[in-house]
Structure 1
């Protein structure tokens, strides 16, 4: 028989155990610290990319030496000391959450050591001018901070390692995009698959505190500002459908290409990548540098400035930019350098929407660009809810909720016909390598264990 809660009894229970409140204070402190680490990473990445842009504007041809040399150095250092920091960071946290992974091997994918390495090597990728984002790495950065709280919690604490990792990953997305709602959905859709009642408080707390730290540092502003959305009617249906379908096909192909490249599909180039990973990284860096020179520097970095220009109708970019950004992002990921694909994916999706808008309805340009961003990101990640909420919060596009949702859902559906889920497949591969079920490729983090004390 169910009884109504006894307020006084519950209140006494809450304050009866001092250790419970110490545990909560520890989690709160680490959530703030996770936000600070993401903010620090953001500043480091922006400073590093400004350094690269200064070099590019003063001596454009110097990037033909600078980018491949620095890319080779990044990959060498990553493979030598921090193999778990390679790539995006989201597959690593999904791998750390995999029940098949022994708990003593979680340090291969999430630790304070890897957090510091991810910040340094990720910023170096921006200094090299690679086509990278910082949002995916922010997931590994924040999760690495949050998991460290476990060593200070009481033995009987109900806050487990899984809850801390999910909370950290979600906080990383929330702080990086200044999109708290996206952090919650990301935790459910991409990391955990469900939001358990006992873990929900930790996750929401991490998101709120890390988000507040980011807002304090950068202001309560939308990532791409506020777009000008015209009156939407049935005339947008045809162009919007074209954007969603094209984004789904392109995103599915991109995910399939990355999976084949990063899991060591039996190809001649991957054979060379296995034998000479540093030389291969230098070749990828040289190709990215050449692409950047051809586009006047537009394809370097995350591509956020290009998106802002498209949204405001300034300096329209040709469809060739979208294709070359696609290639540059793939080569950067294939090189094995630490860096994310979220922001470059948004840039590619924006280019698809901009191209359709110029062919069909220029007055719907901002709306179609937003649909392209949501569609391509959903197609690459096959996480449509996260994708459309991220875009909605980044452009303050609440007037387009249904349109963004439809574009993300349709593009994700098309992508599922072309490719397996990107992050899930990469995570499964990492777990297979870490447990010895699969042979190691150059990017897999099996070279060294983390000390048990950092678990």
Structure 2
């Protein structure tokens, strides 16, 4: 039939185009580098978390000194050496992918230097005992590495910078959670809602290569281990409704607080943060340190150790209370200005809510309710229910809960939308607005001497943010 592709001609054209294969080799090499970076970051983050717990076990009161001191140090480093490392990761890449964002602005959100700074800053935050995860930052780390591949592509390459960012972000979430389907859905649902055919192929290549690196190091295991759910019956319906309602409301409240603190609402607290960001970070660190003392360090990091204990013992040492302490610790950790992820803390809080409801109402279904709570809370915080469902589904050993996970994630996301705007999209808008304000701000000329510099020429500092670096994130 006329117009059908000719296999022989197309094959010869592919083989003769050496520059096309060189471009593919470049992309593949950077995808492997992105996977290696995420693996290295994972090892560093896990080491930092274990070191903090060892410190806490050695001296119970150590977080009261260690956590605020390290928080202040990290924020100071972000002002001087780690510029551009602020934020949780996904909002920065969503902002970089925006079609109206130029390459100069993208380089302030994704680059090799920013990826390296992100690894250092987030590892430091986990070492400090803050409540944060590594999966969200992995999105920005991998995307920054993939974005750097554009320098080595041919001038006629059809691969666009936005496509490299999407592929890198998807590869980052896939390698961090060891959930390749989750990476694909995250790219479609959050990073780019209109994925072209060419972008999908590049994205899949990045996910496969980065995922292979992660699997070769860690094996085919998930962040929380494989969850084997019990058989479900009608007795789980009402507890499931309660878990979904609680996760939707609490997840929406967390998202709303994170947006408010990032936007810098006109309060005395935010004014103090703008004027004294290092002191404010130390105060937040002190509060988180107190919570770590109360909970024996279980709120530090992503909280996955507490989740594993729930899965194994079906009860918590601090039922109900732990969820609220983790909630406050996560909010304060983000508000401090130290960068960190929200995926793992959200999963832990959802698991805790599910475990608490099971403890009081349905002890026979504790694993089921924990899994449903994880999907519901993550769906509520991110308002990306399909991503939340897929990530948790890939942790569940079996498909009996697929429909339940979908229903809980969707319902919790709808409840969250009644409480808060979409977290990542709103944070991306805040990031772009601040970069635009910084670019429009007048720059004072270099003074001939310190005496000749007028005080009025010094620009006022930008508002501090829990999710974006208040300083100029130069690439």
TM range (shorter): over 0.9
CA distance in 1 between counterparts of 2:347 and 2:172 reads 18
Q: How far did residue 233 of structure 1 move? A: 2.1
Q: How far did residue 314 of structure 1 move? A: 5.4
CA distance in 1 between counterparts of 2:385 and 2:423 reads 13
**1:16 alignment partner in structure 2:** 16
Q: State which structure, 1 or 2, has the greater radius of gyration over its C-alpha atoms.
A: 2
Contact 1:345/1:373 (8 A) holds in 2: yes
**Secondary structure of 2:123's partner?**
helix
1:100–1:229 distance in 2 versus 1, CA, 3 Å: same
**2:363 alignment partner in structure 1:** 362
**1:109 alignment partner in structure 2:** 109
Contact 1:261/1:334 (8 A) holds in 2: yes
Q: How far did residue 104 of structure 1 move? A: 1.2
**Secondary structure of 2:252's partner?**
helix
**1:440 alignment partner in structure 2:** 462
Cα RMSD between the aligned structures? Answer: 1.6
Contact 1:434/1:446 (8 A) holds in 2: no
1:231–1:398 distance in 2 versus 1, CA, 3 Å: same
**1:292 alignment partner in structure 2:** 292
Q: How far did residue 12 of structure 1 move? A: 1.4
**Secondary structure of 2:129's partner?**
coil
Contact 2:83/2:473 (8 A) holds in 1: no
CA distance in 2 between counterparts of 1:446 and 1:103 reads 21
**Secondary structure of 2:395's partner?**
helix
**1:235 alignment partner in structure 2:** 235
CA distance in 1 between counterparts of 2:322 and 2:54 reads 22
**2:267 alignment partner in structure 1:** 267
Give CA deviations for 1:272-322 in whole Å, capped at 9, x if unaligned.
111111000000000000011111221112101111111122552411000
Contact 2:87/2:469 (8 A) holds in 1: no
Question: 1:42 aligned to 2:42?
Answer: yes
Q: What does 1:26-41 align with in structure 2 at a 5 Å threshold?
A: 26-41=26-41
**1:191 alignment partner in structure 2:** 191
1:24–1:111 distance in 2 versus 1, CA, 3 Å: same
**Secondary structure of 1:223's partner?**
coil
Q: How far did residue 49 of structure 1 move? A: 1.4
TM-score with structure 1 setting the length: 0.96
Which stretch of the first structure deviates more once superposed, 283-292 or 442-451?
Answer: 442-451
**1:430 alignment partner in structure 2:** 431
**Secondary structure of 2:289's partner?**
helix
Q: How far did residue 2 of structure 1 move? A: 6.3
Q: Hey, which of these two has a bigger chunk of helix by percent?
A: 1
Contact 1:105/1:449 (8 A) holds in 2: no
Question: 1:152 aligned to 2:152?
Answer: yes
Count residues in correspondence. 451
Which stretch of the first structure deviates more once superposed, 353-362 or 2-11?
Answer: 2-11
CA distance in 2 between counterparts of 1:68 and 1:429 reads 27
CA distance in 2 between counterparts of 1:265 and 1:290 reads 26
CA distance in 2 between counterparts of 1:391 and 1:199 reads 25
TM-score with structure 2 setting the length: 0.92
- Structure 1: 5+ residue runs without aligned partners? none
1:2–1:256 distance in 2 versus 1, CA, 3 Å: farther
- Structure 2: 5+ residue runs without aligned partners? 442-460
1:290–1:449 distance in 2 versus 1, CA, 3 Å: closer
**1:414 alignment partner in structure 2:** 415
**1:217 alignment partner in structure 2:** 217
CA distance in 2 between counterparts of 1:17 and 1:301 reads 48
**1:345 alignment partner in structure 2:** 346
**Secondary structure of 2:394's partner?**
helix
CA distance in 2 between counterparts of 1:447 and 1:269 reads 19
1:373–1:342 distance in 2 versus 1, CA, 3 Å: same
**1:249 alignment partner in structure 2:** 249
Q: How far did residue 29 of structure 1 move? A: 0.5
